[in-house]
Amino acid sequence: MAARQSNEALQQPYVDAGGRALAQQMTLLGLNGTAGQQDALNALLSSPEYTSSLQQGEEAILQNASATGGLRGGNTQNSLARFRGDLLQSVFSNQYNRLAGVTSLGQNAAAGVGNAGLNVASNVGSLLNQQGATLAGGAIAKGNVAQQGLNNAIRIASAVAGF
C-alpha cells in the first residue's frame, strides 16, 4: 500500500496541472460561460506574446509598405486590418495547444495512478487466492492422512481377525 500511496503522491502534481489546464481550455472555448471566455481572450490580448508580436508585425508591414511606396495604399491597410485577427487566432491556437499538452500529461498521470491501483488490487487478489489454495491443500492433506490412518487400522484389524 505504501508504494501505491507514494506513486499517487508523485503523480498528483501532474494530475492537478492537467485538471487546471483542462479548465482553462474549457474557458477558452466558452464552455465555462461567455464572461470567462472574454476574460481569457482579454488575457491573451494583453499577453507579452501577443503584444510584442503585434508591435513587430505591424512595424514590419509599415516598413515594407514604406520601402515599396505603398504606405497609404489599400493593400497596406488591408494587411494591417487582417494582421491583428490572424495574430490573435495564432496566439489562441498556440495557447490552446500548450494547454492540451498539459491536459494530456494530467490525463496520463491519472491513468497511471489508476493502473497502479488495479495492479495492486490484482496482486493482492492473486496472493489471497494462493493463500486459500495453500490452506485448502493443507486441509486436504490432513484429511488424506487421517483417511490413510483409518484404512491402515481397518487392514490391520482385518488381518488380525482373519478376514
Cα end-to-end span (Å), the chain? 63
Number of domains in the chain: 1
26-31: which pairs have CB atoms within 8 A and are 24 or more residues apart? 28/92, 28/95, 28/96, 28/99
Global pTM value: 0.61
Instruction: Determine, yes or no, domain membership for 150.
Output: no
Instruction: Determine, yes or no, domain membership for 117.
Output: yes
Per DSSP, which regions of 8-134 are E strands?
none
Domain that holds residue 36: 2-129
Higher pLDDT, 161 or 94: 94
Q: Report the pLDDT value the prediction gives residue 109, as an integer from 0 to 100.
A: 80
Instruction: Determine, yes or no, domain membership for 118.
Output: yes
Residues 6+ apart with CB under 8 A from 57: 83, 87
Instruction: Determine, yes or no, domain membership for 38.
Output: yes
Percent of the chain residues topping a pLDDT of 70: 88
Instruction: Determine, yes or no, domain membership for 49.
Output: yes
Instruction: Determine, yes or no, domain membership for 99.
Output: yes
Residues 6+ apart with CB under 8 A from 131: none
Tell me what the mean pLDDT of segment 36-59 comes to.
Answer: 96
| CA–CA gap between residue 7 and residue 2 (Å, rounded) | 9
Measured in whole angstroms, the distance separating CA 133 from the mean position of its chain's CA atoms is 38
Instruction: Determine, yes or no, domain membership for 161.
Output: no
Angle between helices 74-161 and 34-45 (to 10 degrees): 120
Instruction: Determine, yes or no, domain membership for 151.
Output: no
* Model pLDDT for residues 55-102, shown as the tens digit of each residue: 999 999 999 888 877 777 778 888 888 999 999 999 999 999 999 999
Tell me what the mean pLDDT of segment 11-25 comes to.
Answer: 91
